[in-house]
Amino acid sequence: MLEIRVADRSDLPRLTEIYNHYVVNTAITFDIAPLSVEARVPWFDEHTAGGRHRMLVAVEAGVVVGYAGTARFRAKAAYDTTVEATIYCAHDATGRGIGTKLYAALFDAIANEDINRIVAGITLPNDVSIALHERLGFRRVGIYSEVGRKFGRYWDVIWLERPLRL
């Protein structure tokens, strides 16, 4: 049975483990070296302040198998009603609908916040992530070409957006 709940500081080692798999093995994230749990504390704290910025985890049989969150998009005040979404599932827990459930719960959790837009950036190619976002109401708005260099090559990033309330 899958449980979705608010992330807790005790989840941080597992969140870091999930993330570091993608750092080492994919271009999905543009971090190029694995991060320590201690290095992830400021990131975690930015996502768990409540209000617009949240972090939820999916737990199966007592193990965190994924997480989704919203965070500040840009530091300037006029951007405050836009949040950037992030989502990661453990590499061995993909393709089971966990991401859909996480995002649905996250968007319900922030439904009454002062948010106008949710944005997401996805490294290309990533058809699975694009399909997930589009199923949940995101639409493609543009591509930044060759903005990240990892594994000896440049990668494009597609940007998607959706209103909080569909």
β-strand partners of 118: 83, 162
pLDDT at 166 > cutoff 80? no
**Helix, strand or coil, per DSSP, at residue 110:** coil
- Name the phi and psi angles at 92, rounded to 5: -95, 10
Fold of 2-117: Aminopeptidase (3.40.630)
0.75 surpassed by pTM: yes
- Return the percentage of the chain with pLDDT > 90, whole number: 95
Parse the chain into domains and list their residue ranges: 2-117
Q: How confident is the model at residue 40 (pLDDT cuts 50, 70, 90)?
A: very high
Is the model's pLDDT at 71 over the cut of 90? yes
Q: Exposed/middle/buried for 95, CB within 10 Å: 0-12, 13-18, 19+? A: exposed
Residue range 144-149: average pLDDT?
98
Q: Is the pLDDT reported for residue 119 higher than 90?
A: yes
- Average of per-residue pLDDT across 77-105: 96
Across the range 38-55, mean pLDDT stands at 90
**48 three-state secondary structure:** coil
Q: What integer pLDDT is reported at residue 103 of this predicted model?
A: 97
